[in-house]
Amino acid sequence: MQEPQIAAPSAPRSEDRPLLSGRPGWMKAAGRLRQNKKAMVGFWMVSVFILVAVFAKWIAPYDPLEQNMDMLLKPPSFHYLLGTDEYGRDILSRMMYGAQISLMIGIVGMLVSLILGMALGTISGYFGGAADMIIMRIMDILMAFPGFLLALAIVSVLGPGMTNLMIAIGIFSVPSFARICRSSVLSLNQKEFIEAAKSMGSGHMRIIFNHVLPNSLAPMIVLSSLRIATAILSASGLSFLGMGAQPPTPEWGMMLNTGREFLRSAPHISLIPGLAIMYVVLGFNLLGDGLRDALDPKMKL
């Protein structure tokens, strides 16, 4: 009589494994990112921007608020590498300090969107039912408005200023985070490890924080990098309209606005902030596209 053969347990399929489970997952994603030339260009562009913002206090040649009435509207020169503005202030120094403001707006706005969006998306996707319907209908209403107009309306109600600007930037990006997080949670609910955790008696909070949220990070990381660029661009647009940073704050969008009056006599006042905004937004978009490819397990570079 032959002994019954016991089949060896099959290895978990690649699509059932957490995307960034442990160190090997992160290392593979980092390897794919390094192989993406466009992503690395974006990475170095963003790195330069962050370094300038962090060390602006030490590398800026002048005080960004110091006025020199003898040096009004001077073009780029040896002493003023990017020229001076209508008050004789050094544009290079103002650009460096403006990088701090743009970085702060981008990060704070993204964090507000990320926290609120992941909370709402997780509740909607995990519990479903009436909570899902109510949350998603609210998100649909918010998405019916163009993001910039929604932010403009929020700032108009709250009033101009940096704090209100960051709140508005954060709120208008919440629907994107909520819907993507909900999609990830819905797909995770069908996975075997979630069903196993439920069958073992794990509570909802334990499952959400130990299993659902960690395995929903990949799309959130990609969207966060792209939304930082959107936040910086939207903040510059609102400041350009006078609804964001107020004078004499060295904010790029406001510098772009004040330079409109001198486009013929001193075009560098508007040209330089505009190029800086384009540089930063391009860098974050390239990095975000690279992260999307690197964190996609189906991508083969």
Residues 199/214, Cβ–Cβ less than 8 Å: no
Q: How many CB atoms lie within 10 A of CB 150?
A: 19
User: What is the pLDDT at residue 156?
Assistant: 86
Flag whether 44 is in a domain: no
Residue that is written with structure tokens 């929020």 in the block: 154
What does the pLDDT profile of the chain (301 residues) look like in tens digits? 444 443 433 444 444 444 455 556 667 777 777 888 888 999 999 999 999 999 999 999 999 999 988 889 999 989 899 999 989 999 999 999 999 999 999 999 999 999 999 999 999 998 888 999 999 999 999 888 888 888 888 888 888 888 888 899 889 889 999 999 999 898 888 788 878 877 887 788 888 888 888 888 888 888 898 899 999 998 888 888 888 888 888 999 989 888 888 888 889 999 999 999 999 999 999 998 888 877 765 554 4
Q: Is residue 211 part of a domain?
A: yes
* Cα 49 to Cα 55, 99, 205, distances in angstroms: 10, 7, 38
Query: How far is 211 from 204, CA to CA, in rounded Å?
Result: 10
Q: Supply the pLDDT for residue 216.
A: 84
Find out whether the peptide bond into 248 is cis, omega within 30 degrees of 0. Answer: yes
Query: What is the DSSP code string of 259-299?
Result: GGGGTTT-THHHHHHHHHHHHHHHHHHHHHHHHHHHT-TT-
**Residue type at 260 in one-letter notation:** R
The parent domain of residue 131 ranges over 52-58+90-294
Q: Is residue 140 part of a domain?
A: yes
Q: Residue 127, Cβ neighbours under 10 Å: how many?
A: 14
Q: Residue 75 falls within a domain, yes or no?
A: no
From residue 116, alpha-carbon distances to 171, 172, 173, 174, 218 in Å are: 8, 11, 10, 6, 17
CA 123, CA 174: separation in Å to the nearest integer? 14
Which token pair is 86?
């209508």
CA separation, residue 82 to residues 36, 63, 72, 92, 184 (Å): 33, 14, 13, 5, 47
Evaluate the CA torsion angle 108, 113, 118, 123 in order and state its sign: positive
The whole-number pLDDT of residue 13 equals 47
Residue 65 lies in a domain: no
Does the reported pTM lie above 0.85?
no
CATH number of the domain residue 206 falls in: 1.10.3720.10
Residue 263 lies in a domain: yes
Tokens 């053969």 belong to which residue? 5
Q: To the nearest 5 percent, what fractions of the chain are helix, strand and coil?
A: 70, 0, 30
Complete DSSP assignment for 85-141: -TTS-BHHHHHHHHHHHHHHHHHHHHHHHHHHHHHHHHHHHHH-HHHHHHHHHHHHH
Q: Does the residue 253 lie in any domain?
A: yes
CB atoms within 10 A of CB 157: 9
Q: How many domains does the chain have?
A: 1
Quickly tell me which residue has 């954060």 as its tokens. Answer: 170
CA distance linking residue 301 with residue 29, whole number of Å:
11
Residue 26 lies in a domain: no
pLDDT at 93: 94
What's the Rg (C-alpha) of the chain?
A: 24
